């Protein structure tokens, strides 16, 4: 197929798609005239029911908690998939230069400005990630956001040093265990409710007295914490696998 | 103006799809897929917007304040997570494709595979 024909076919398909899209939009209430009762109901009852002032977190970890279990396992399986797809193949080996030589090269490649700049951000990244992960019930934050910020602290360490340091502070077996504990912890919170005679993922912990306090909202805060460490572990694993590829050479090509 | 955000979503979808169709590099194609998925964020948040509504966080605003729909915002969060998972897997496949076939051009890859 020639590129021109390809493009022509695409535009024909796009025209059809857009025609249907515009037709469907005609039936929508305009922007800003949200009609649905569902969001309004949740907004009115969520704070009273869960003591969480962050209603999005209440939806994610309470009302729609079962979906979020699936969502978390999607990420877990994707990290596993990346590790499997990028596993060492038979004709691949580690690039193995003499250690002192490698250290020399790394030292001369990374400029001091990058090292200092990256290291300066490690502390704030850990603090911000921890804050986000532990305040899902209060503010626009939660485990997913906090986990990604926590993982970025490890990327900063990689930027300021080299891959070996990254691996030393985040050994694969430890990261695997942390990720599994996070994913399993979420599922275990749900099962604990079942053991206590409630529906799966029911909020069985005391909700606290002050809405929006860190100690409020029962399982919402707990689940957010588990999600945070699982997301951080999954991203560190994915980033580590992708970085490791730069160390692997294939026999016969180099 | 009433449908402007929905038209923005359609535009982002269209340019992302165009990029995917005409792309000559797998990594570029994956980025285009991310652009396509970004259109859903705009659409979701646009659908849930309430004129004059605040964000659905009642920490420092009274409980009965009109707020936007929190459900579509939670869906957008799910969307972001799935997008991250999908792009990580696709990038891993791109690395393996480059290792196996020595090229990242999708047209070239199709020719190699017949």
> Does residue A248 surpass a pLDDT of 80?
no
A26 found inside a domain? no
Q: Which parts of chain B register pLDDT below 50?
A: none
CA distance B5 to A78: 32
Q: How far is B28 from chain A (nearest CA, A)?
A: 17
Render pLDDT for A74-99 as a digit per residue (tens, 0 to 9): 999 999 999 999 887 766 766 554 44
A1 found inside a domain? no
Q: How many CB atoms lie within 10 A of CB A106?
A: 14
A119 found inside a domain? yes
Provide the chain A residues 213-232 that lie in CB contact (below 8 A) with chain B.
Answer: 231
* Best B32, B71, B98 residue to mutate vs chain A (most A CBs within 10 Å): B71
At B88 the pLDDT is: 94
Q: Could you tell me the pTM of the whole model? A: 0.86
Counting beta carbons within 10 angstroms of the beta carbon of residue A202, is it exposed (0 to 12), middle (13 to 18) or buried (19 or more)?
A: middle
Contact of B3 with chain A, judged by CB distance below 8 Å, is answered with yes
User: What are φ and ψ of residue B64, in 5° steps?
Assistant: -90, 10
Render pLDDT for A221-233 as a digit per residue (tens, 0 to 9): 999 999 999 999 9
At B73 the pLDDT is: 92
Q: What is the mean pLDDT of residues A131-154?
A: 91
Q: How far is A165 from chain B (nearest CA, A)?
A: 23
Q: What is the mean pLDDT of residues A57-72?
A: 92
∠ CA B67-B78-A118, rounded to 5°: 100
Confidence of residue A254 (pLDDT cuts 50, 70, 90): very low
Contact of B10 with chain A, judged by CB distance below 8 Å, is answered with yes
CA distance A15 to A21: 10
A14 found inside a domain? no
C-alpha dihedral, B8 to B76 to A16 to A10, nearest 10°: 90
Q: Do B89 and A82 touch (CB under 8 A)?
A: yes
How many structural domains does chain A have? 1
Q: Which domain holds residue A128?
A: 36-250
* Best B68, B84, B90 residue to mutate vs chain A (most A CBs within 10 Å): B84
At A121 the pLDDT is: 92
CB A138 within 8 A of CB A53: yes
Render pLDDT for A12-31 as a digit per residue (tens, 0 to 9): 999 999 999 989 888 888 88
At A100 the pLDDT is: 47
A113 found inside a domain? yes
CA distance A47 to A53: 6
Search chain A and give the residue with CA nearest B48. Answer: A34
Joined together, the tokens standing for residue A205 give 């912990």
At A250 the pLDDT is: 54
Q: Which of A18, A32, A238 sits opposite B88 (nearest CB)?
A: A238
Provide the chain A residues 22-61 that lie in CB contact (below 8 A) with chain B.
Answer: 22, 25, 28, 30-34, 36, 38-40, 42-44, 46-48, 53-56, 58-60
Joined together, the tokens standing for residue A197 give 């005679």
Residues of chain A found within 8 Å of residue B57, distances taken between Cβ atoms: 53-56, 139-140
* % of chain A residues with pLDDT over 70: 90
Residue, of A114 and A147, whose pLDDT is higher? A147
∠ CA A113-A117-A119, rounded to 5°: 120
Residues forming a β-bridge with B27: none
Q: Which of A31, A212, A253 sits opposite B49 (nearest CB)?
A: A31
B4-113: CATH topology is: Helix Hairpins (1.10.287)
A22 found inside a domain? no
Residues of chain B found within 8 Å of residue A45, distances taken between Cβ atoms: none
A31 found inside a domain? no
Search chain B and give the residue with CA nearest A138. Answer: B59
Contact of A149 with chain B, judged by CB distance below 8 Å, is answered with no
Residues of chain B found within 8 Å of residue A245, distances taken between Cβ atoms: 95
ipTM: 0.86
Q: Do B92 and A28 touch (CB under 8 A)?
A: no
CB A227 within 8 A of CB A73: no
């Amino acid at each position: 197929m020639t590129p021109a024909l390809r493009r022509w076919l695409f535009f024909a398909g796009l025209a059809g798609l857009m025609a249907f899209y515009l037709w469907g939009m005609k039936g929508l209430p305009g922007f800003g005239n949200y009609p649905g009762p569902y969001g309004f109901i949740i907004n009115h009852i969520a704070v009273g029911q869960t003591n969480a002032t962050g209603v999005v977190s209440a939806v994610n970890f309470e009302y729609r908690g079962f979906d979020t279990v699936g969502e978390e396992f999607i990420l877990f399986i994707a990290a596993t998939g990346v590790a499997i797809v990028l596993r060492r193949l038979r004709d691949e080996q580690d690039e193995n230069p003499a250690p002192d030589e490698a250290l020399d090269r790394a030292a001369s490649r990374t400029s001091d400005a990058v090292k200092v700049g990256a290291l300066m951000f490690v502390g704030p990244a850990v603090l911000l990630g921890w804050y986000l992960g532990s305040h899902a019930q209060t503010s626009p934050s939660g485990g997913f956001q906090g986990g990604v910020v926590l993982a970025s602290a490890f990327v900063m360490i990689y930027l300021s040093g080299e891959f070996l340091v990254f691996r030393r502070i985040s050994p694969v077996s430890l990261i695997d265990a942390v990720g599994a504990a996070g994913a399993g912890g979420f599922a275990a919170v749900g099962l604990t409710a079942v053991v206590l005679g409630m529906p799966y993922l029911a909020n069985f912990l005391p909700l606290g007295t002050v809405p929006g306090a860190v100690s409020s909202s029962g399982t919402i805060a707990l689940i957010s914490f588990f999600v945070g460490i699982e997301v951080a572990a999954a991203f560190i694993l994915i980033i580590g696998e992708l970085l490791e590829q730069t160390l692997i050479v294939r026999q016969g090509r180099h | 103006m009433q449908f402007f955000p929905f038209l923005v979503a359609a535009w982002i979808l269209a340019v992302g799809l165009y990029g995917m169709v005409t792309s000559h590099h797998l990594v570029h194609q994956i980025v285009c897929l991310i652009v396509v998925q970004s259109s859903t964020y705009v659409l979701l948040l646009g659908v849930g917007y309430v004129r004059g509504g605040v964000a659905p966080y009642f920490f420092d605003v009274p409980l009965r304040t009109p707020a936007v729909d929190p459900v579509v915002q939670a869906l957008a969060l799910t969307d972001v997570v799935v997008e991250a998972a999908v792009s990580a897997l696709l990038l891993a496949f791109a690395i393996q494709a480059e290792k196996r076939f020595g090229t990242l051009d999708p047209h070239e890859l199709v020719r190699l595979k017949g």
